[in-house]
């Protein structure tokens, strides 16, 4: 989420999907209708309960088992549990690029509060939300991000995105005055999520056999941004996409799925879209492009998308955690081995440049990472 200076671009008329749903509940404007090849498969649309992907689940990591072993008086059981959980984490990062974390230590009341303020914000009248507009080509504020032309297909989603850390990336004009406790809640939530990211990166380093603070030392003052996504119901979920397939440009993404929301997030695993079933109070974590590059592809930044539901709406809150913009990154030497069939797959680049490239490209699978490929 670099504060990108961008020349004026024409994006055409963008319907606000919430308003559309309110005023013309069965109309799907042409710009939202996907080409055949881009639509979700009928299997997941028509009969979610009998979809062949129902039996596979994204791995679940119990963070308390990892945290406990940090105490000095670690017992043998705790050490064993730590080891087992690290093995699970390795598999999750290597084979899935996604996992859900339980016992993450973030106060449940905080998860509820952020969800409440996000929902309250989206439920405000359009004129109120439009006081915080996402200018075309930028990624902070209320609107649709990643739209760069008049003929580009649109996602069935409203977004509200804000840069949070470090402070200089904040655009305080976009921090809403309603609901009244929005900013305060976002601050507290972001502080906790930041700690979680730092802890997870430590365990991810351990799982790679690296020094545990390797990422934190490298990242400088990490950039943290939040994006709240609201997907209203859609009369034809088979025709539209909630959020286009993409990988995240971050190092890590933490996604909170709203309580009572429909199932919507899907990840691409072995060429099949696998739904991520929400687990109450768990957070969904995924590896972003930055960790894929740093690990020379050992840990994958997996393509994902969001689909909509005929009757139910859906809220999600994504936090993106990434290195400071001035940092140069490239595969860690420990994870490159030219002699043993593991050549360096990505070039070195400046992370700020990658961020800029990411936010000025439309969401299109893993295409943005071509930037870094050798
Ligand atoms: C994102 C994202 C998925 C969701 O915001 O990058 O992938 O379920 N969101 O909203
Ligand atoms: Ni994403």
Residue 322 and residue 290 in contact, taking contact as beta carbons nearer than 8 Å: yes
Rounded to whole angstroms, the Cα distance separating 195 from 144 reads 29
In the numeric block, which tokens belong to residue 86?
Answer: 């690290």
- Mapped onto helix, strand or coil, the DSSP state of residue 151 is coil
pLDDT of residue 144: 83
pLDDT at 353: 92
Angle at 93 (CA atoms; ends 348, 85), nearest 5 degrees:
135
Q: Is 241 in the pocket of ligand 1 (CB under 6 A)?
A: no
C-beta 319 within 6 A of ligand 1: no
Neighbours of ion ligand 2 (CB under 5 A): 248
User: Of 140, 228, 243, which is best to mutate to test ligand 1, by the most ligand atoms within 8 angstroms of its C-beta?
Assistant: 243
Rounded CA separation 145/136 (Å): 8
Q: Atom 8 in ligand 1: which residue has the minimum CA distance?
A: 265
Reduce the DSSP state of residue 17 to 3 states and report it: helix
Residue partners of 297: CB distance under 8 A and separation at least 6: 331, 345, 346
**Cα radius of gyration rounded to whole Å, the chain:** 20
- CA distances (Å), 73 to each of 69, 70, 82, 206, 211, in order? 8, 9, 14, 19, 21
Boundaries of every domain in the chain: 100-372
Token pair recorded at residue 241: 């996409």
Where in 82-191 does DSSP place strands (E)?
A: 98-102, 141-143, 158-165
Pairing mode, if any, of strands 98-102 and 60-62? parallel
- Distance separating alpha carbons of residues 46 and 330, to the nearest angstrom: 43
Per-residue model confidence (pLDDT) at position 72: 63
Tell me what pLDDT residue 4 has. 56
CB 255 within 8 A of CB 316: yes
pLDDT in tens, the chain (374 residues): 555 555 577 888 888 999 999 999 999 999 999 988 888 764 444 344 445 455 689 999 999 999 987 666 678 888 889 999 999 999 999 999 999 999 999 999 999 999 999 999 999 999 999 999 998 778 899 998 788 788 889 999 999 999 999 999 999 999 999 999 999 999 999 999 999 999 999 999 999 999 999 999 999 999 999 999 999 999 999 999 999 999 999 999 999 999 988 899 999 999 999 999 999 999 999 999 999 999 999 999 999 999 999 999 999 999 999 999 999 999 999 999 988 889 999 999 999 999 998 888 888 889 889 999 99
Q: What is the pLDDT of residue 71?
A: 62
Pocket perturbation via mutation, ligand 1, pick of 157, 255, 277, 317 by most ligand atoms within 8 A of CB = 255
Phi, psi of 10 (to 5 degrees): -95, 120
Q: Are 314 and 306 in contact (CB under 8 A)?
A: yes
Nearest to 32 by CA among 232, 265, 188, 263: 232
Pair 208, 87: CB distance under 8 Å: no
Distance from C-alpha of 156 to C-alpha of 28, rounded to nearest angstrom: 10
What's the confidence (pLDDT) of residue 5?
52
Count Cβ atoms below 10 Å from residue 52 Cβ, excluding itself: 10
pLDDT of residue 250: 96
Q: What is the pTM of this model?
A: 0.93
- pLDDT (0 to 100) of residue 44: 47
Domain spanning 100-372, CATH architecture: Sandwich (2.60)
Give CA–CA dist 306/17, Å, rounded.
Answer: 15
Q: Is 250 in the pocket of ligand 1 (CB under 6 A)?
A: no
Q: How far is CA 156 from CA 116, 125, 265, 272, 310, in A?
A: 21, 18, 13, 22, 12
E strand intervals along the chain: 60-62, 98-102, 141-143, 158-165, 223-231, 243-246, 252-257, 265-269, 272-275, 283-287, 304-306, 314-322, 328-329, 349-350
Token digits of residue 15: 């319907």
E-only strand ranges, 67-157: 98-102, 141-143
- Residue 285 near ligand 1, beta carbon < 6 Å: no
Residue 95: predicted pLDDT: 96
């Amino acid at each position: 989420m670099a504060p990108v200076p961008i020349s004026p671009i024409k994006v055409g008329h963008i319907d606000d999907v919430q308003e559309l749903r309110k005023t013309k509940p069965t109309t799907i404007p042409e710009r939202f209708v996907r080409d055949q090849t881009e639509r979700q498969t009928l299997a997941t649309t028509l009969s979610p309960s009998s979809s062949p992907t129902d039996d596979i689940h994204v791995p679940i990591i119990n963070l308390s088992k990892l945290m406990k072993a940090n105490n000095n008086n670690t017992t043998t059981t705790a050490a064993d549990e730590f080891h087992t959980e690290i093995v699970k984490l390795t598999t999750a990062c290597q084979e899935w690029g996604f996992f859900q974390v339980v016992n993450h230590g973030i106060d449940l009341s905080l998860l509820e509060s952020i969800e409440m303020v996000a929902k309250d914000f989206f439920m405000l009248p359009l004129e109120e939300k439009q006081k915080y507009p996402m200018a075309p080509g930028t990624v902070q504020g209320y609107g649709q991000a990643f739209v760069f032309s008049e003929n580009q297909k649109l996602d069935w989603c409203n977004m509200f995105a804000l840069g949070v850390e470090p402070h200089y990336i904040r655009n305080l004009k976009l921090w809403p005055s309603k609901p009244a406790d929005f900013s305060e809640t976002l601050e507290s939530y972001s502080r906790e999520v930041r700690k979680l990211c730092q802890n997870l990166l430590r365990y991810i380093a351990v799982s790679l056999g690296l020094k545990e603070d390797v990422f934190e030392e490298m990242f400088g003052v990490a950039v943290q941004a939040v994006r709240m996504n609201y997907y209203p119901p859609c009369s034809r979920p088979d025709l539209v996409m909630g959020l286009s397939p993409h990988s995240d440009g971050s190092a890590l993404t933490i996604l909170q799925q709203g309580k009572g929301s429909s199932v919507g997030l899907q990840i691409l695993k072995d060429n099949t879209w696998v739904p991520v079933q929400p687990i109450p109070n768990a957070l969904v974590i995924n590896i972003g492009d930055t960790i894929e590059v740093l690990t020379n592809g050992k840990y994958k930044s997996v393509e994902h998308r969001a689909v909509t539901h005929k009757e139910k709406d859906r809220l999600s809150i994504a936090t993106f955690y990434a290195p400071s913009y001035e940092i140069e990154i490239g595969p860690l030497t420990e994870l490159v081995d030219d002699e043993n069939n593991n050549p360096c797959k990505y070039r070195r680049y400046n992370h700020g440049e990658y961020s800029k490239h990411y936010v000025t490209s439309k969401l299109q699978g893993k295409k943005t990472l071509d930037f870094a490929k050798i």
